[in-house]
Amino acid sequence: PFGFHKNPAVISVQIQSQPSVFSRSQEVSPLQQSPTLAKDHSILRLLLLPSSVNCRLITIFTKRLYNVSNNKEEMQLLGEKLNPYIVEIVLKGFKSWRIANDFFLWASEQKGYEHNCYTYNTMASIHSKFQKTTRLKFLALDVVNSRCRMTPGALGFFIRCLSSHGLVDEAVYLFEQLKRLKLCVVNSYSYNCLIEAIAKSGRFEFVEMRLTEMRDEGWEVDKFTLTPILQAYCNARKFDEALIIFNQIYDRGWVDEHVFTILMIAFSKWGEVDKAFELIERMEDHNMRPTEKTLCSLIHGFTRELRVDKALQLFDKMRILAFNPDLPLYSVLIEGLCKTNELDKALYLYTEMKSFKIFPDAYVYKNLISSFSGQGDLVTANKLLEEGEEELDLAAMVVLYNAILDSLVSKGLTDKAYLLVRAMMGTECIGESVIGDLFRVKKTVLPNYDSFAVVIDGLCKTTKLDEALVLFRDMIHMGCERTVILYNNVINALCDSNRLEESFELLREMKESGFKPTEFTHNCICGCLCTRENISAVLDLLREMRVCGHEPWIKHYSGLVKQLCSQGKAVEACGFLADIVREGFLPDIIAYSAAIDGLFKIREVDRAMELFQDISTRGHGPDVVAYNIVIDGLCKVERVLDARKFLNEMFEKGLLPSVVTYNSMVDGLCKANDIDQAFHYYKEMISEGREPTIITFTTLIDGLCNGGRPDDALMLWNEMIEQGCAPNRIAYMALVYGLCKCNTSKVAQIYFNEMKEKEMRPDTYVYVALITAHISNKDLFLALEILKEMVHKEEFPASSDKNYPILVEALRKFSENSTTSLVVQNLISEGCIPAICSVSEEGDKEG
């Protein structure tokens, strides 16, 4: 019928078609149980007379006469006449739970009298009605301690009283104890009440346990068993189990409006809108219809999932069923349509509700105005605003104007928002005014804090700080108190625009107004000071921050350290970090790493090593990045052995070297002409799961060529390609240059051509190296072609370039050959290459 049938053991149950008894009204009454009472009509009449025992007891306990000394004899006589039926009637006659409780306790002390299940249930009902949860707990314990026998129906009633106040554990205890002590022969109804109680608590695993227990004891499961189980699974979002239970109810024809509603609401909450709608249609096929409350709940749920199409279909069903929609229903539908940009439909509903004399509230107007103005339809937004002015009070109108301001700011129309808020203040207009072609301000609607905040925030984000400051000052005149958040936003914007002096002015004003600067406030200013490299001012601010208990943000002081180091001021950066420590703050490893890197770059190697050791002893555990900086710095100054020590130290500390670490080691060893050791680290990085990069291969290829091993370099090149590492421009240039140095110009020419085919442009030094190599191999004409290409690509080196003298020497070689000399002279005469005096002079000497 719905979903798939499943049969897990825990919920595969035997079904009985008839439900058990739910109320005491169908059980045997005391009059029916007692032949004496049934026959003796005089006793019954006596009980109904005003002077009867029950009326007298109600009077005595209501007037608190039971403790009066001259009443002892009467109380004794009344106590002797007590029976459970009289006690039950008397309890129901009290209007006060306290008096009822006093009478209940008095009755329990009377000689020859014992409460039965009906008196206990009557007292439980009273405690439940007056929400006396603690009394209800003790009453359940008293039932067990008094060894009171209970009928299955009475037990079920008591369990329901307990569960209605969330006393599920007490309900389980009562059930188990009465069953264990054989004070009640529980039946399917007792189990149903217990399962219902547990299900309401959402503890579905205990529901399954009790269901299994019920089945094992031979009690037949019915509709009233399965319905709370369905509810429990739905509450626990156990979709498959809920469908199994629903299908069992459906297959046996027990499904009703309540069962359908449970699953429909659950589907709605789970976002399964189509399934919920399918259930509604199935429900209608059974000649059932959802209640007005159910339809409203589903419409809210569908709209929350932005399935306004289905929500509108339900809305139409409501009207067909003659249910009258109210303001909340119209409001949620209009909100949903606004979110899905179906503004025509939203406007239609707005018009319809007004025709039914359902007047929109500020929330409806706000959604409509925000949506239309957000879509750029300011005419409709203005019309809605005017209609709102006729129906809403001033407080609500401020909300609408704020919606417009927010929309204008969101669309980047901060200038218009600024003009509108000033018109609201009455500073730019007298009487009726128009803001451009936008909104008419017909009556005074003073802006509130939100009005100012949204516009100021928009102005700050668009760096229109002068206007933002004007509004910020005007807030006080309009009676709007500024907040720490607003101060912070303006200060942050000023600092981002490097308007530091004004930021300090606002900070002073903030303090004078009684606001304490936050960590955000101080860090905004700290960031601006760091950008200006005003170290003394930063330290002054840090002292103030320390007093306030504020921590400086890492990004600011680390950024300052990096700035100083990039300018070669690493020593000054180290001094700044030392000052931070003296002010009571411990800089982050990021800042220290930047300082160490800066020291290496200015060749202050010993100082860098000293700082690294210093931060290690202070408890700053250097990370992989810090070690990489040290290893790379040492390799660059040819202290490869020291770098290897730090690499080993990384392993000892449990830090895994990165690709960057290994690349630094490989580069250092290659530059130290220890190519074999470089390959050792190449293999180690692979074994450690670090995939070599193009930098790794390029470094090794360059090292092999420098070591006169071009064949090995080419083998590694092919290995690189096989591993899927595509060579880049730098790699090609390294290979061509290296092969040229190894005097294998023909092979170099192949890779040079391949490089050009891939549209990679060689640098000047590659052209020069290839020209020189071809000349060395007596291939002047190929060298000349490379020269012409270099000239055509405008790669001829300047006289200050280190490649210039090498190329001059190559030109001398060309001049020694008549054919190549003529080509070179033509290039010079055409201005493609500069005239070289020394070449001409050499030619004169030869002449």
15 and 53 co-located in one domain: no
Instruction: Name the pLDDT band for 48 (thresholds 50, 70, 90).
Output: very low
Whether residue 450 is predicted with pLDDT greater than 80 in this model: the reply is: yes
Instruction: Name the pLDDT band for 816 (thresholds 50, 70, 90).
Output: confident
Report for 14-28, 55-69, 678-692: range of highest mean pLDDT: 678-692
Whether residue 21 is predicted with pLDDT greater than 60 in this model: the reply is: no
Instruction: Name the pLDDT band for 14 (thresholds 50, 70, 90).
Output: very low
114 assigned to some structural domain: yes
Q: Give pLDDT, residue 445.
A: 85
Higher confidence at residue 376 or residue 345? 345
Higher confidence at residue 709 or residue 815? 709
For range 820-847, the mean pLDDT: 64
27 and 176 co-located in one domain: yes
* Cα–Cα distance measured from residue 450 to residue 824, given in angstroms and rounded to the nearest whole number: 78
- Could you say which of 134, 158, 186 is where a domain stops? 186
Higher confidence at residue 182 or residue 231? 182
Instruction: Name the pLDDT band for 233 (thresholds 50, 70, 90).
Output: confident
Model confidence over 284-337: pLDDT tens digits? 999 999 999 999 999 999 999 999 999 999 999 999 989 999 999 999 999 999
CATH number at residue 160: 1.25.40
172 and 239 co-located in one domain: no
Instruction: Name the pLDDT band for 373 (thresholds 50, 70, 90).
Output: confident
Instruction: Name the pLDDT band for 441 (thresholds 50, 70, 90).
Output: low
Positive or negative: CA dihedral 31, 37, 38, 41: negative
DSSP H or E run through 433: strand 433-434
- Comparing 5-19, 487-501, 623-637, 797-811, the range with the smallest average pLDDT is 5-19
Q: Give pLDDT, residue 695.
A: 96
3-state secondary structure of 618: coil
Q: Give 287's contacts (C-beta < 8 A, 6+ positions apart).
A: none
Rounded (to 5) percent helix, strand, coil in the chain: 70, 0, 30
Whether residue 691 is predicted with pLDDT greater than 50 in this model: the reply is: yes
Residue numbers of the domain that contains 69: 23-186
Q: Give 86's contacts (C-beta < 8 A, 6+ positions apart).
A: 47, 53, 54, 57
Number of compact structural domains in the chain: 3
80 and 143 co-located in one domain: yes
* Cα–Cα distance measured from residue 545 to residue 585, given in angstroms and rounded to the nearest whole number: 10
Q: By C-alpha distance, which of 158, 212, 200 is closest to 9?
A: 212
Q: Give pLDDT, residue 814.
A: 85
For range 56-82, the mean pLDDT: 83
> Which residue in the block uniquely carries the two structure tokens 């250092």?
668
Extract the tokens encoding 320.
Answer: 């067909």
Whether residue 29 is predicted with pLDDT greater than 70 in this model: the reply is: no
220 assigned to some structural domain: yes
Neighbouring CB atoms inside 10 A of 479's CB total 9
3-state secondary structure of 215: helix
Model confidence over 779-794: pLDDT tens digits? 888 988 998 888 888 8
Per-residue b or e along 335-352, where b marks 16 or more CB atoms closer than 10 Å to that residue's CB? bbbbebebbebbbebbee
5 and 83 co-located in one domain: no
Model confidence over 577-611: pLDDT tens digits? 999 999 888 888 999 999 999 999 999 999 999 99
Higher confidence at residue 41 or residue 676? 676
Extract the tokens encoding 382.
Answer: 């203005």
430 assigned to some structural domain: no
For range 66-82, the mean pLDDT: 81
Burial (0-12, 13-18, 19+ Cβ within 10 Å), 516: exposed
Q: Give pLDDT, residue 738.
A: 95
Residue % of the chain over a pLDDT of 90: 66
82 and 174 co-located in one domain: yes
- Comparing 73-87, 183-197, 440-454, 756-770, the range with the smallest average pLDDT is 440-454
Model confidence over 379-413: pLDDT tens digits? 899 899 888 888 888 889 999 999 999 999 998 88
Model confidence over 115-140: pLDDT tens digits? 999 999 999 999 999 999 999 999 99
712 assigned to some structural domain: no
C-alpha count within 13 angstroms, C-beta hemisphere, residue 729: 7
Count of residues making up the chain: 847
576 assigned to some structural domain: no
719 assigned to some structural domain: no
Whether residue 221 is predicted with pLDDT greater than 50 in this model: the reply is: yes
Whether residue 42 is predicted with pLDDT greater than 50 in this model: the reply is: no
Whether residue 5 is predicted with pLDDT greater than 70 in this model: the reply is: no
- Comparing 20-34, 721-735, 831-845, the range with the smallest average pLDDT is 20-34
9 and 31 co-located in one domain: no
* Cα–Cα distance measured from residue 568 to residue 554, given in angstroms and rounded to the nearest whole number: 21
Neighbouring CB atoms inside 10 A of 641's CB total 10
* Cα–Cα distance measured from residue 114 to residue 119, given in angstroms and rounded to the nearest whole number: 9
3-state secondary structure of 187: coil
3-state secondary structure of 202: coil
Label each residue of 673-684 as H, E or C.
CCHHHHHHHHHH
Mean pLDDT, the chain, as a whole number?
Answer: 87
29 and 15 co-located in one domain: no
Q: Give pLDDT, residue 440.
A: 60
222 assigned to some structural domain: yes
Between the alpha carbon of residue 18 and those of residues 22, 193, 225, 674, the distances in Å are 12, 16, 11, 93
154 and 90 co-located in one domain: yes
- Could you say which of 255, 281, 300 is where a domain stops? 255
112 and 43 co-located in one domain: yes
For range 612-641, the mean pLDDT: 90
Model confidence over 244-291: pLDDT tens digits? 999 999 999 999 999 999 999 999 999 999 999 999 999 999 999 999
- Could you say which of 210, 225, 255 is where a domain stops? 255
For range 146-160, the mean pLDDT: 95
Q: Give 694's contacts (C-beta < 8 A, 6+ positions apart).
A: 720, 725, 726, 727, 728, 730, 731
Instruction: Name the pLDDT band for 74 (thresholds 50, 70, 90).
Output: confident
Q: Give pLDDT, residue 28.
A: 39
163 and 33 co-located in one domain: yes
Whether residue 529 is predicted with pLDDT greater than 80 in this model: the reply is: yes
For range 618-634, the mean pLDDT: 89
Q: Give 523's contacts (C-beta < 8 A, 6+ positions apart).
A: 550, 552, 553, 556
52 and 104 co-located in one domain: yes
803 assigned to some structural domain: yes
Q: Give pLDDT, residue 19.
A: 35
